[in-house]
Homo-oligomer: A and B are copies of this chain.
């Protein structure tokens, strides 16, 4: 597992300072990289970390080239600087090139003999199906798509070209995912949304729940990545929609009829309740919750573990997190918080009393 620096550079562009005639065996963070590794630095605030790094090759912006090359005790062959106007983007594309050429992902080849494809399904000859994958009646799997072991594409569902579904993924009936998507293991797309009408029980002791059949589906655009063990529910009447370029981490819940705008990203454990409408270019931190039927404008950023209880129509960063503290301090402050409104009233009274 190694590559010549000149080959990396030829594939990905930029300006090379120092000789490309060297072998790179890994990509590593600045602090851990040795003479045989490529690292990257994106911003002058990491100048000190850069100065201490032993990385043989560093992807750096123009204003850090001199710093890369001026480090003391260079290895045999000297330091190399791979100049890029966007080092983080070059690093990302380098990992992709590395994955393709140096450290390829193990992949299914063709259709595994144990996979089951219904007679009425259409699987493109270039698609790859893992062991025990299932494609049900009327479903379509486009060219170069890949289904992991035990993945299930239910009746009339559609997997776009080049899209990969991981092991145990379920794409529910009538649901669609576009091209170049990636869905990680165990995610369930197209389970029923959570919809019930309350019906009084005889005797007045309470209500039971009458099922509202979920007649919609899920529509997912192109270039969408969804993590492991997520749930994207089908719509009640219309569809649940994830637009192009959306990125979801693991264990995320997307309720029925939610609409997520393009290039919005959500970290792990986020929950979006039914019929919420999330704009484009938003980010939601891990564990954030958005209540039902709310709207988030484009470019809204929600901090981790914050709960959105009202629509947010202005771009910006929003937070609502109880600060963590040692347990004794927290207990005192939390107890006082339960009297906060009363404290305010007392303060008001005091202000009135002491006003000259």
A229 to B333 Cα, complex, angstroms? 35
Q: Tell me how far the C-beta of A117 lies from the nearest C-beta in chain B, rounded to whole angstroms.
A: 10
A327 to B96 Cα, complex, angstroms? 35
| Interface band, chain A | 35 or more
Chain A 269-313, CB-CB to B under 8 Å as 1, else 0, gives: 101010000001100011101010000001100111111111010
Q: A92-B211, A206-B280, A253-B268 are in contact. Are A325 and B338 (CB under 8 A)?
A: yes
Contact of A289 among B99, B208, B304, B320 (CB under 8 A): B304
Residues facing B in A300-356 (CB within 8 A) are 302-310, 312, 316-327, 329-341, 343-344, 346-347, 350-351, 353-354
A148: which B residues are within 8 A, CB to CB? 152
Q: A134-B131, A196-B92, A267-B273 are in contact. Are A237 and B28 (CB under 8 A)?
A: yes
Known pairs A116-B132, A186-B186, A186-B231. 13 more at Cβ < 8 A? A91-B197, A130-B134, A172-B185, A186-B188, A229-B230, A255-B268, A287-B307, A307-B324, A322-B334, A329-B338, A333-B341, A337-B337, A347-B350
Please list 20 pairs of residues, one from A and one from B, whose beta carbons are closer than 8 Å in the complex, sorted by A's number. Answer: A89-B197, A92-B210, A99-B215, A131-B152, A152-B168, A194-B268, A209-B247, A228-B231, A229-B229, A231-B251, A271-B286, A273-B286, A303-B330, A307-B324, A319-B325, A321-B322, A321-B330, A332-B340, A346-B347, A347-B350
